[in-house]
Structure 1
Amino acid sequence: RGSNGAGQPAKRGAGLGGSAPQAARWLGDIRTYFPSSVVQVMQRDAIDRLGLSALLLEPEMLEAVEPDVHLVGTLLSLSRAMPESSRETARAVVRKVVAELEKRLATRTRSTLTGALDRSAKVHRPRHRDIDWNRTIRANLKNYLPEHRTVVPERLIGYGRAAQSVKKEVVLCIDQSGSMAASVVYASVFGAVLASMRALDTRLVVFDTSVVDLTDELDDPVDVLFGTQLGGGTDINRALAYCQSRITRPAETVVVLISDLYEGGIREEMLKRVAAMKAAGVQFVTLLALSDEGAPSYDREHAASLAALGAPAFACTPDRFPEVMAAALEKRPLPLGD
């Protein structure tokens, strides 16, 4: 037992702080090992043991707590067992966190990706200020005059400015196993931001052993989050098969797989799908996590196999994600971090 500076016993405090990530993971993992009837009982018991009942049933308590991404993950894990009278309060908690994340991330994401989309469009009769000199020089190296030490630019290449003509497709493919709770929250927020950009056609897919397409919910990330079900098994191959079937312009498509890569499906087929998509021109990005916590436990063998295909797997913070997406849209090397 600790003490304060005056030698008096320190007061014990209760809170969800450090236990929240573990709680979300546990609540997801029990779906793998127990039948649904037992899971429902365990989750109801967890609501009581974590002290969430009072939080969810008394809206005024929202002013006394600081909801965060981990709490949202816990609420989503419990959502199937949540009493009907608590659902609106739970949605209010989730909406508060989502609003804060959008405020933090949306403007910078739109700005970064708008610039990337502009630069990714080649214009062959650009104005002087829009000339992409690096591309122009590369395209005209055959016209190098050694006696003058100069390149004669017969063809000018510029940055495009008409976002409507650039239209790119983005597919977010999100593993909803219990360990990925924070990543699911951030990915849902980013999905809504990307969907708000006219130059992008954004699809959001979540999976465990089944695949759910939540694209129609992207106008409200809270609806996306409550459409997920954290926990259960994992079939990455099935999810990628679905995503692959929805790609109409592979050379203009970015697929972002967010997963710890523990595959319960057919490993060889999964890798073949990734190879086929890349061969068709798809920019394939593998994120082991999209959160501030660094890389989780992940399948290193699968990560190495993806790296060998030119799709290195790495953890990405929410603040870095716009730069990762910009690089993918421009078909540049990805900023893998330290």
Structure 2
Amino acid sequence: MSDFPSIPRLTSSKYFSSLLLLRNIWKGGDLSDDMQFQRVVNQRTYKGELILFAFDLCSVSDALNAVLMLRHVGFEHFLPLTDGAATCEALHALADVKALPTTPCFWSSSSNNHKGWDTWGAGAGCVSGERRRGYCKAEQLWAIRYHVAARLLASRVNLLHMDTDTVIFNDIYTRLKRKPISDYSLILLPESPVNGGLWYAQHTSLDSGAQWVIAEVARRTWEVISLRIRRRSSPPFDQAMLADALVSAMKGERHVAYMCEHPAVALQPPCANASQSRCAYRHYEWVVATLDARNATPLYRACFWRGDAIVTTDEHVIARKQRLVAVH
């Protein structure tokens, strides 16, 4: 296993899960299969926690590095997610060359096979590990990520999502599980615009506030790629969808202004009556919303300024990130 001399091994963490390596780790599979999905919930989680990251063929080495980093600190409860079996095989092959323990890898064919990707992506069912020329659209991988994340949250799994370039320098759970942050269900980075690369959700269930927000990003993606367009395009950036979902939750009404900035979507029916309010996006790093568990009705107004931040922490939790903002 690779050496990370500047990163401590978190043996004292309550979520030190290296013993999961002693289990019979299987190589992975298609999470569209309910049995595979439930097996992940039962065998890849630890004390109800799971760490999710997504990658394609171009970032296989980054994904393997993330695996090595997580195993180094002692967090075996991770879920590498990609676009198809061939890309997982590439990850396995790289791990085998380095004589590493079995590295699980998963994909979700149902969300990747939507026919809308024929015009809004690189083609329905595009798998980067199968391509000899060109690439699959990153938007397809992002949609898979949100879809799977929403299913996990509906199954009451506490989920830390991270990009493959994230490095853990200390026990993030000591911050997330300590009040006041432990009382919140969705913790986001205080960045403007909203950053979907690192977030944490806990205390969730089907249609709870945090689960609704993440699932809404996937739903809006399917809505967009179901639209008929004349020329091939890409859907709006996933973080625009996430911003819309969060503002919708805070305002208690449908908000699509950021999605509708996309030129191929702007004149389509979903944008006909779009709200053009931009304040929550411009000052998003200081937005803190309280969501009702059923319908995500806000208890706070939509736009917050710097002085209205309710929960922040200045401690370094994860490399390249310094503060977390909580969304209840």
TM-score, normalised with respect to structure 1: 0.29
TM-score, normalised with respect to structure 2: 0.29
Kindly name which structure, 1 or 2, has the bigger radius of gyration based on alpha carbons: 1
